[in-house]
Amino acid sequence: MIPRVFTRICGPDRAGKTLFIERVLRSNRSLHLNAARMEAFEDVGEGEAVTGEDGETDEMRRYREAGAQEAAHFRYDPEDPDGAGDLIWESRFMEKALWGILIEGVPPLRLDWRYTTFVMRPLEKGEELLERGAQRVPPDTVEDVARGMLDALGLGDDPELAAMARRIARGEGGGQRRGRKKTDTHWRLRDPYAHIADANQVFINAPSGTPRDRVERTEAAVRDLYEDEEKAEHILWLRRLRKKIHIHSGNLEERRDPGVQAATRRVREAIRRALKENQ
């Protein structure tokens, strides 16, 4: 089996995800890491894989200059997860990328994520992580649960059942009983922050001049997701994945920032631990 360890870096636009990956790469050159950006485009057709043979994107150049052994940029149709999987798995990048692979974005792939870092900016004044609304679980999480149940029953290889799980996860299977009102009494994560629920750590990227009280309020809001019983109860997928989360903050522009060093060190430790398990 080809030894690969997948770690994910996700978060809102312009939060600093590419810069975070650069910091991980520059401080861990001895691990011979690889990096790829995976981006959803609705009108991309069959998708596009830029792997260096026919040019490179700005993100790829930054990855390589920071020390990535292999770099790629994938653009895929979010409505065609199977096509996206074929595009990525059959690429030159996946042929050559071994050991640790850093993925920027949230690809529609069933990968064994060994570590996930959510990168975000400090919350603006009056901005919140949560909102009140109808109970909503991310489709990918529903599909993972459904597929896990099929695997446990020995039915994971049945393509019809797998397709049914995907349809139900995306609300195409009539999952809500007719006549049943949606309630607006549940807490849910706002869209830009939904994948905090999947994270092992949250890094708050606070540029120079950011008021400390904004950073502290953001740290408290993230911590509250795991400590407040009502919120954890309402955010179902978070309750299912209840685990210790690490929260760091710092300025990604400063390479020697203690918070940056602590966060990148956790990624390194997770990759090393997974590689050791795979030996």
Can you give the residue ranges of every domain in the chain?
4-135+182-278, 140-181
Q: What is the structure's pLDDT at 152? A: 60
205-258 tens-digit pLDDT? 999 999 999 999 999 999 988 887 777 666 645 545 556 789 999 999 998 999
Lowest mean pLDDT across 82-86, 139-143, 201-205, 258-262: 139-143
Q: Are 88 and 38 in contact (CB under 8 A)?
A: yes
The mean pLDDT of 14-21, rounded to a whole number, is 97
107-130 tens-digit pLDDT? 877 778 889 999 999 999 888 998
In this structure, is the dihedral angle defined by the CA atoms of residues 146, 148, 154 and 160, taken in order, positive or negative? positive
Report pTM.
0.80
Q: For the residues of 159-199, what is the DSSP string, one character each? A: HHHHHHHHHHHTT-S--SPTTPPPPS-EEEE-GGGGGGGG-
Q: What is the structure's pLDDT at 183? A: 45
CA separation for the pair 184, 202 (Å, rounded): 28
Q: How confident is the model at residue 182 (pLDDT cuts 50, 70, 90)?
A: very low
23-48 tens-digit pLDDT? 999 999 999 999 999 988 877 666 78
CA separation for the pair 26, 11 (Å, rounded): 21
The three-point CA angle 57-60-65 to 5° equals: 130
Closest of 121, 138, 148, 152 to residue 195, by C-alpha? 138
Q: What is the structure's pLDDT at 137? A: 52
Q: What is the structure's pLDDT at 179? A: 38
Q: What is the structure's pLDDT at 47? A: 78
Q: What is the structure's pLDDT at 235? A: 67
Name residue, tokens 């999952």. Answer: 175
Element (H, E) at 72: strand 71-76
CA separation for the pair 165, 139 (Å, rounded): 10
DSSP 87: H
Q: What is the structure's pLDDT at 250? A: 98
Average pLDDT score, the chain = 82
Label residue 192 exposed, middle or buried (CB < 10 Å: 0-12, 13-18, 19+).
middle
Closest of 118, 137, 144, 143 to residue 202, by C-alpha? 118
Domain 4-135+182-278 classification at class level? alpha beta
CA separation for the pair 71, 183 (Å, rounded): 45
Please give the radius of gyration of the chain, using alpha carbons only, rounded to the nearest integer.
Answer: 19
Q: What is the structure's pLDDT at 177? A: 40
